[in-house]
A = this chain, B = another copy of it.
Amino acid sequence: MAYSVASLARLIEEFEKMPGVGKKSAQRMAYYVLNLPQEEAERFAEAITDAHSKIHQCSVCCNLTENDKCSICSDPRRDFSAICVVEDFRDVLAIERTHEYDGTYHVLHGAISPMNGVGPDQLTVKQLLARIDGSVQEVIMATNPTVEGEATAMYLSKLLNPLGVKVTRLAYGVPVGADLEYADEVTLSRALEGRRVI
């Protein structure tokens, strides 16, 4: 009989299901949990159920929130004439960190990917279209620069253009601080295409 502890194996398994977590990391995490003081382990468990039960989508932009509207959609200092379309809430966090954007967002919760069975109906496309009235001037496509993100941006721009709204896409180019030597050809040719007078 090999060594095994049912509840430990189950905990390791739960951690292993998470994205980017392998067997070894899951064991390390389980060990960490076992060494937590009782009340901290309970707080950890509570954080999981709490987040799950309290968080839902903002009624305007579909971003995650505990309220009816998220903190951005309910902030009067925001510029409601601009909507930045992103794939998920982490992209919102990333753009907010730049402190360069004061418009609103629209969170698609994914990208169109026929291979994975994700079509426009699985995303919050309807809610985005419903937001386009006379007040919206620009929709910025900030989906990922991947095949899926690209396809999604193209698809949405075709829907949005006839509505008379300006649709823009994030610029492609070499990442700041990176070494040209390591830039892939596609990125580099996009950077050349998009070159600007200085």
Contact = CB atoms under 8 A, between A and B. Distances in A.
Central interface residue in A18, A53, A54, A66, by most chain B CB within 10 Å? A18
Contacts of A25: 20
Interface range, A side: 35 or more
Contacts of A96: 2-3
Q: Which of A3, A42, A64 has the most CB of B within 10 A?
A: A3
Interface string A74-107: 0101000000000011101100100000000000
A65 interface: yes
Contact of A54 (B7, B18, B92): B7
Contacts of A55: 5, 7-8, 34
B89 A31 contact: yes
Q: In the assembly, how many copies of this chain are there?
A: 2
Contacts of A54: 7
A63 interface: yes
A10 interface: yes
B32 A63 contact: no
B3 A63 contact: yes
Given A51-B10, A52-B34, A52-B36, A3 B66 contact: no
Nearest to A50: B7
A19 B24 CA distance: 11
Given A7-B54, A14-B47, A31-B88, 15 more contacts: A1-B72, A2-B71, A3-B92, A6-B66, A7-B51, A11-B47, A14-B48, A17-B32, A19-B32, A20-B28, A27-B90, A30-B51, A31-B89, A34-B52, A45-B49
